[in-house]
Amino acid sequence: MPKVLWKPGTMIYPVPAVLVSCGTKQDGFNIITIAWTGTLCTDPPLCYISVRPERCSHAIISRHKEFVINLTTERLARATDWCGVKSGREFDKFNEMKLTPLKASKVKAPLIAESPLNIECRVTDIRPMGSHDMFIAEVVAVHADELLINPATGAFKLSHSRPMCFLHGHYFGLGHMIGKFGFSVRKKKK
Amino acid sequence: MPKVLWKPGTMIYPVPAVLVSCGTKQDGFNIITIAWTGTLCTDPPLCYISVRPERCSHAIISRHKEFVINLTTERLARATDWCGVKSGREFDKFNEMKLTPLKASKVKAPLIAESPLNIECRVTDIRPMGSHDMFIAEVVAVHADELLINPATGAFKLSHSRPMCFLHGHYFGLGHMIGKFGFSVRKKKK
């Protein structure tokens, strides 16, 4: 396997492409698409989003210290791409993309109804990194689409929402399930 | 779309499941599987991995301040799962999983030859978060599998490596390509 040496760059893929909603009803809501996001800690549940200071949502989130991470699906692909390219200074993104803001439980930023899973976040730290500032946030509530929960077992099947991921400039759907965590050491049933 | 309110938890998915290699030839190499990883900043290129302090690799990376992020594929699924479950205190993971350590260009930690893309990282900060410590790192070099580069155009097709992602306890392959970044605003050719 011959390797080609490249200059340093950020090449961790596949990553999520989430819709981050922010703002308040009074100030106006906005949405920004974020791929530089992830979990920092399981307990307490901490996550981050990295945002360029010139983005409209950067000022909104810096002001209110709250946002919602809305997971995306193949059906939300166009809205996800569009909200990453366009600016809230020019468009009401909820209106343009026909997305529905829902009241959150702990923060003033809205949930996006069409997303299968909404993660309410409260900013605990803002760290300038260079081109992007990292917003470290605590998860304060999670909302899941009831249709993805098996009423008999309570099992949540996020894969049934047809999630989407982002890989080096392209959006992809998910393919087949390869295995469950721990499959490599699980004993086979006789 | 009725929503069910859950208690706070880390539910950002799909995420990468990368093989992080660490150590030195003299001290011994190790591998740990990490899903809590991502890009923090594009310029300079900064990323992170979050690791539980009780993991063997935590001590190794804390000591040497270097690691390599190796992207994973469907073919690496079993090794990825196994390296996340087992401990370097008990196993030589390279040997057990028949993975090949390659010399990196800037760090002492090895590249994993079988990975399509290797990201050499130097730790700039360690931040305790709770169950996990966040290692913030600068990307110092990137190695790409030459077979994924079109010799005529130079285009790199990471998707040809059959990348894998992790979604709420399960590994998935990638499915079909939905669109390129910016597809929602691209003018159609006449």
A182 pLDDT tier (thresholds 50, 70, 90): very high
Cβ–Cβ below 8 Å for A158 and B179: no
- Domain ranges in chain A? 18-185
Q: Is B59 on the interface with A (CB under 8 A)?
A: no
Nearest chain B CA: its distance from A90 CA (Å): 15
Report the alpha-carbon distance of residue B172 to residue B175 in Å, rounded.
9
Band (A187; pLDDT cuts 50, 70, 90) = confident
Residues 6+ apart with CB under 8 A from B62: B126
Nearest to A176 among B13, B132, B172 (CB): B172
A43, A138 Cβ separation under 8 angstroms: no
Going by pLDDT thresholds of 50, 70 and 90, the confidence category of residue B190 is low
Contacts of B26 (CB under 8 A, 6+ apart): none
Interval A114-132 mean pLDDT: 98
B97: tokens are: 């999983």
Residue A8 CA to its chain's centroid (Å): 25
Q: Which residues of B touch A13 (CB under 8 A)?
A: 16, 71, 158, 163
- A-B contacts at Cβ under 8 angstroms: 320
| Residue A186 identity (one-letter amino acid) | R
B17-47 tens-digit pLDDT:
999 999 999 989 999 999 999 999 999 999 9
CATH number of B18-185: 2.30.110.10
Q: What is the pTM of this model?
A: 0.97
Which residues, including other chains, have CB under 8 Å from residue A110's CB and lie 6 or more apart?
A21, A23, A25, A29, A68, A94, A101, A102, A103, A104
- At A5-51, the pLDDT tens digits run 999 999 999 999 999 999 999 989 999 999 999 999 999 999 999 99
Q: Is the Cβ pair A177, B172 closer than 8 Å?
A: yes
> Any residues with CB less than 8 A from the CB of A56 and at least 6 apart, and which?
A30, A32, A87, A88, A89
Q: Tell me: cis bond preceding B14? Omega within 30 of 0 counts.
A: yes
Percent of chain B predicted with pLDDT > 70: 98
Please report which confidence band the pLDDT of residue B189 belongs to, taking 50, 70 and 90 as the band edges.
Answer: low
Interface of B with A in 122-141 (CB under 8 A): 129-132, 134, 138-141
| pLDDT reading at A190 higher than 60 | no
| Distance in angstroms (rounded) separating the CA atoms of residues B102 and B93 | 14
Please count the other Cβ atoms lying within 10 Å of the Cβ belonging to residue A190.
Answer: 3
Of chain A, the percentage scoring pLDDT greater than 70 comes to 98
